[in-house]
Structure 1
Amino acid sequence: MNIRTLTAAAMFMSLSAVGGMLKLPVGPSSIAFDSFPALVAVLFLSAPVAGIVGAGGHLLSALYGGMPLGPFHFLIAAEMFIVVFGFAKLNEIGIPGLKWLFFVLGNGIIAAVPFYFLLSPAFFFAAVPGLLLAAAGNALAAGLVLPVLLNRKSRDKTCGMH
């Protein structure tokens, strides 16, 4: 990994930490806007590195929230890696509608399924509405920013700027 990629990943992870401070008052205290920077990172980073930003962003958000689910946050971080990685791959392939659906359903419902069995069905059904709201909010924020950055990025390339 070169210094430019490492610096960009650190910047996006820092933005995830800031987004993690913007908590939604539903469910566990780690539901926040920490995914938004990872979704934006797909324009600048490879899928694996964007996935690392998503995983790290969740851990930073969970730390800020007091780690309410304890070691389960490492499972959630792994799930965030998979969801952001998948989002980035769908973005690379050029399937815009599916990448958003994948992120919202993956982050808002599928990632919660292990907790149906690990904690309780009640926890799952209590957490999913907040997770869906947070996933949709993160996706909406990224959906508003990505076209602007994409336009800027393509304009900079045509002007010879990198």
Structure 2
Amino acid sequence: MKGKWVSGLAMLTALSVVGAAIKIPAIVGSVALDAFPALLAAVLFGAGAGALVGAFGHLLSSLIGGFPLGPLHFLIAVEMAVLVWVFGRMYKNNKILACVVFIIGNSLVAPLPFIYLMNVGFYLGIIPSLLIGSIINTVIAMVAIPRLTSLVTHGLPNRDVKQ
């Protein structure tokens, strides 16, 4: 059973790499379709697993983009892990609210530290592409989750899969 779990997370992390290659035009080259596999992992394998995929997915996406913000990408990876964890915890109670919280958190709240680290212009410049990327990632995840739930539940105890 652990092998299936690890394999599933490895596949979703690999899917993050594929999504990382699909960039959203932005002033920073790391806005991409790398978050939806983490959202899938958070629902299908648990919030903690989704947080791991989210952090690694962002780091891989920024690596493909050339680490334009340098070590600040580690801060963003932690933020992504927290947002995906919150999404996974909220999803089982209220799917729509989980989506809204993720989109707002990823596009408006997560870049707030960059007001102090960079400037307000950077914050305002990154919001449109983060908002578009967050919406696309969330929509893809919401379309895929119901279709993939049966694949994950097959052979696993129901307590391991968050529906």
Partner of 1:71: 71
- For residues 1-162 of structure 1, what are the structure 2 equivalents within 5 Å? 2-92=2-92, 94-150=93-149, 152-153=150-151, 161-162=154-155
What secondary structure sits across from 1:145 in the alignment? helix
Taking structure 1 as the reference length, the TM-score comes to 0.90
| Deviates further, 138-147 or 2-11 | 2-11
Q: Matches of 1:141 and 1:47 in 2, distance apart?
A: 18
Q: Matches of 1:122 and 1:25 in 2, distance apart?
A: 17
1:108 corresponds to which letter in structure 2? S
Say if 2:42 and 2:48, in contact at 8 Å, map to a contact too: no
Could you list the per-position Cα deviations for residues 53-86 of structure 1 after superposition, in whole angstroms to 9, with x for gaps in the alignment? 0010000000000000000000000000000000
Instruction: Using the TM superposition, give the Cα deviation of residue 148 of structure 1 relative to its aligned residue in structure 2, in angstroms.
Output: 2.2
Q: Matches of 1:3 and 1:147 in 2, distance apart?
A: 23
Q: Matches of 2:111 and 2:5 in 1, distance apart?
A: 31
Instruction: Using the TM superposition, give the Cα deviation of residue 44 of structure 1 relative to its aligned residue in structure 2, in angstroms.
Output: 2.4
Instruction: Using the TM superposition, give the Cα deviation of residue 125 of structure 1 relative to its aligned residue in structure 2, in angstroms.
Output: 0.4
Q: Matches of 2:146 and 2:7 in 1, distance apart?
A: 23
Instruction: Using the TM superposition, give the Cα deviation of residue 8 of structure 1 relative to its aligned residue in structure 2, in angstroms.
Output: 1.5
Instruction: Using the TM superposition, give the Cα deviation of residue 10 of structure 1 relative to its aligned residue in structure 2, in angstroms.
Output: 1.2
In the alignment, structure 2 segments of 5+ residues that lack a partner are 156-163
Q: Matches of 2:9 and 2:88 in 1, distance apart?
A: 14
Q: Matches of 1:9 and 1:109 in 2, distance apart?
A: 28
| C-alpha RMSD of matched pairs (Å) | 1.7
Say if 2:44 and 2:145, in contact at 8 Å, map to a contact too: no
Q: Matches of 2:43 and 2:71 in 1, distance apart?
A: 31
Partner of 2:159: none
1:22 corresponds to which letter in structure 2? I
Instruction: Using the TM superposition, give the Cα deviation of residue 143 of structure 1 relative to its aligned residue in structure 2, in angstroms.
Output: 1.6
Question: Percent identical across equivalent pairs?
Answer: 37
Q: Matches of 2:70 and 2:61 in 1, distance apart?
A: 13
In the alignment, structure 1 segments of 5+ residues that lack a partner are none
Q: Matches of 1:38 and 1:56 in 2, distance apart?
A: 9
Q: Matches of 1:147 and 1:14 in 2, distance apart?
A: 20
